[in-house]
Amino acid sequence: MHGEEEDVFDSVTWESASAPYDVDHTAMQAGPGFKQSTAGAEEPHGPHDPKWEGYLITIVKDPVKELPETKDAYVSYLVAAKTNLPIFSSQTPSARRRFQDFVFLRDHLVKDFPACVVPVLPDKHRLEYITGDRFSPEFMERRRLELHRFLQRIARHPMLQRSTLLRAFLESTEWHVYMHQHLAHPPGPEPAPGLIDNISDTLLNAFARVRKPDERFLEMRESVDKFEDGLVLSERLWNRIRGRTNDLMTDYHDLAVAVQGLGFLESGITDPLNHFSNTLLEFSALLRHKTQTSTDPFLVHLHSLLTYSHANRAVLKLRDQKQLDFEELSDYLSGVTLERDRLSAIISGHAGSSGLGLSAYLKDKVDAIRGADDDRSRVEKMRKLDIKIKELQDAVTTAHETSDAFSDETLREQKIFQHTKEAEMKEMLSNLADGEIEFYQSAIDEWDRIIPIIQRIRVDV
């Protein structure tokens, strides 16, 4: 187990190569080469191309209400998978998990893989907890679908799919034990916090902007923005159309009733008019059916994809933060270095010619008035500054490495996200198109059926 763990986290170690960003699509398509170790994985791909070691297809199904009739009742879901990943002991692992377990899985994946886009879990839906509706079949089915999508996203991620946490989630019979272990001994090297975090925390300015923006990320950011805009706009408009369709549904129903009423009045053609009324009713039912089985799921998925994209954006922001850390630290370092240089210049008697400008001159004057203008204190100060500079240099180096590594990871993460996005868009649009096609086909049948019936009305005009 330990070996596997190492294996998994090796892949997370950041590669600092700055190879071309372009993706070799064909190479990637052949991608899921069955390499069991990540050690040699760099060669055939660009460094930012994601690699899939194998497949992991997950299903969340069969929600069951556990401990019913007690106040501790909860819903468990059957989590099953098909895989050829060597990390799994079985090709078809499965387990029953509850919502809280999913929460644990996500929280710890986020912690363990800060640079990965970990999908978002559905809301807790507090309202349903209060009203007790959380055991209604609709609610359970909706949540099942959301959890399914969540797990599918993780499974599609080339790194997350091989995490030990996920493995335990999918196959461990002692999940609770594992959870405690995981809490006690978090895997992987703790990213040494200390100085960087301390300093960066103090330097952190929410309004700061990256000064040397990386073109690639700017573009990426923009594309994510546009994607989200597209999703948001589509969602809004589709929701509106959904509302209209619902209205039309009512209208056709009402019209059917009205036509039936007309049939009662027109005794000669009651029968054909009743048929026509039925067609209108049927059309109304088809509209409802389309909304319920196609548009609604589509909208749910659309929204879910939007939250996933938010997670992606958060990672991008985190990357900016890392770069910002580095930049701020560098600034700080250069400031401190400057101060030390100035002091040393004063000591060596070149105060006047130091040419450091008005502020430094004023500072000297103030110091002189305060009587602190003696070389000893200056030397003391310089010694302190030297230590600080040393520290800062280390920090800047680390921050630089972190930033670079994070950037590389982000580039790869974007590819992964792109894949998942495409796959989900495909599923989403294809289901939607299926729904539309089915609706139109059935509707054509309905209308075609009624025309000859009406044509049979004898007219002696």
Q: What is the footprint of another protein within residues 59-88 (CB under 8 A)?
A: 59, 61, 82, 84
Stretch that binds another protein, among 64-72, 365-373, 396-404, 439-447 (CB under 8 A): 439-447
CB-nearer residue toward another protein: 289 or 303:
289
Please state the closest distance from residue 431 (CB atom) to another protein, in A: 5
Residue 276 binds another protein, judged by CB under 8 A:
yes
Residue 90 binds another protein, judged by CB under 8 A:
no
CA–CA dist 255, 249 (Å, integer): 10
CB atoms within 10 A of CB 303: 16
Residue 457 binds another protein, judged by CB under 8 A:
yes
Quick one: which H or E segment has residue 363?
A: helix 358-370
Quick one: which H or E segment has residue 59?
A: strand 56-66
CA–CA dist 212, 327 (Å, integer): 8
SS3 317: helix
Strands 56-66 and 74-83: antiparallel
Site for another protein in 177-216 (CB under 8 A): none
Count, residues near another protein per rule CB under 8 A: 89
Residue 233 binds another protein, judged by CB under 8 A:
yes
Please state the closest distance from residue 127 (CB atom) to another protein, in A: 24
Residue 440 binds another protein, judged by CB under 8 A:
yes
354 backbone dihedrals φ, ψ, rounded to 5°:
-65, -25
Please state the closest distance from residue 55 (CB atom) to another protein, in A: 5
SS (H, E, C) 95-129: EEEEHHHHHHHHHHHHHHCCCCCCCCCCCCCHHHH
Stretch that binds another protein, among 267-275, 338-346, 359-367, 378-386 (CB under 8 A): 267-275
Please state the closest distance from residue 238 (CB atom) to another protein, in A: 7
Please state the closest distance from residue 29 (CB atom) to another protein, in A: 7
Stretch that binds another protein, among 109-117, 175-183, 268-276, 313-321 (CB under 8 A): 268-276
Among 163, 164, 291, 294, binds another protein (CB under 8 A): 294
CB-nearer residue toward another protein: 105 or 155:
155
Q: What is the DSSP string of 143-197?
A: HHHHHHHHHHHHHHSTTGGG-HHHHHHHH-S-HHHHHHHHHHS--S-----HHHH
Contact 149, 143 (CB under 8 A): no
CB-nearer residue toward another protein: 117 or 199:
117
Site for another protein in 350-389 (CB under 8 A): none
- Whole-Å CA distances, 328 to 163, 195, 215, 259, 321: 34, 14, 19, 75, 10
Please state the closest distance from residue 30 (CB atom) to another protein, in A: 9
First and final CA of the chain: distance in angstroms?
A: 89
CB-nearer residue toward another protein: 314 or 443:
443
User: Given strand 56-66, what is the order of strands in its sheet?
Assistant: 56-66, 74-83, 94-98
Residue 148 binds another protein, judged by CB under 8 A:
yes
Stretch that binds another protein, among 4-12, 130-138, 219-227, 355-363 (CB under 8 A): 219-227
Residue 167 binds another protein, judged by CB under 8 A:
no
Please state the closest distance from residue 338 (CB atom) to another protein, in A: 45
Residue 55 binds another protein, judged by CB under 8 A:
yes
Residue 158 binds another protein, judged by CB under 8 A:
yes
Please state the closest distance from residue 310 (CB atom) to another protein, in A: 17
CB atoms within 10 A of CB 155: 21
Among 79, 87, 155, 159, binds another protein (CB under 8 A): 155
Question: The tokens 């190879």 sit on which residue?
Answer: 19
Among 180, 240, 363, 383, binds another protein (CB under 8 A): 240
Contact 162, 88 (CB under 8 A): no
Residue 218 binds another protein, judged by CB under 8 A:
no
Residue 442 binds another protein, judged by CB under 8 A:
yes
Q: Is the dihedral of CA 216, 218, 221, 227 positive or negative?
A: negative
CB-nearer residue toward another protein: 322 or 412:
412
SS3 213: coil
Residue 166 binds another protein, judged by CB under 8 A:
no
